[in-house]
Amino acid sequence: MAHFAELDESGTVMQVIVVNNAELLDNGQENEAKGIAFCQSLFGHDRWKQTSYNGTIRRRFAGIGFHYDATADVFISPQPYPSWTLDANHDWQPPVPFPTDGEQYVWDEPSQSWTKITAP
């Protein structure tokens, strides 16, 4: 099964649908344009991009609220915190690297630091 992300006018993913692979076949080969045409026949617009669970299409599997960057042809997840920035691989990075001591941490935005998770 193929997956297609519906985009709004600004490139935000509104939903992801499943399309039978047979709808994409063109002379025995899968063709994204055929999948987009199929989605357009159902929903009346062509703002669709194929996505894949294994990340081989457009960097990562699209989810609701993700953004499609047409220049890089990738889906970008929502920014997790205001202080995090997008790196060259289109991944969000914290202003302080995650600790590498093997402990569990959560990001604390007000202090802009990692807070160790302690057992109750």
Residue 55 has pLDDT above 90, yes or no: no
Are 14 and 37 in a shared domain? yes
Query: Would you say residue 7 has pLDDT above 90?
Result: yes
Q: Would you state the pLDDT for residue 12?
A: 98
- Statement to judge: residues 55 and 110 lie in one domain: no
Q: pLDDT (tens digit, 9 = 90+) per residue, 58-102?
A: 999 999 999 999 999 999 999 999 999 999 999 999 999 999 999
In this structure, the answer to whether residues 70 and 106 fall within a common structural domain is no
- Single pTM value for the model: 0.88
Task: Answer left, alpha or beta for residue 70, where phi above 0 means left and psi between -120 and 50 means alpha.
Answer: alpha
- pLDDT of the residue at 69: 97
| Residue 29: band (very low, low, confident or very high) from pLDDT cuts 50, 70, 90 | confident
Q: Write out the two tokens for 2.
A: 């193929």
Phi-psi region of 47 (alpha: psi -120 to 50; beta: other; left: phi over 0): beta
Residue 120 has pLDDT above 80, yes or no: no
Q: Say yes or no: 39 and 73 in one domain.
A: yes
Nearest CA to 105 out of 93, 97, 115 is that of 115
Q: Give the pLDDT mean for 9-37.
A: 94
19 and 70 together in one domain: yes
As for how many domains the chain has, the answer is 2
| pLDDT number for residue 97 | 96
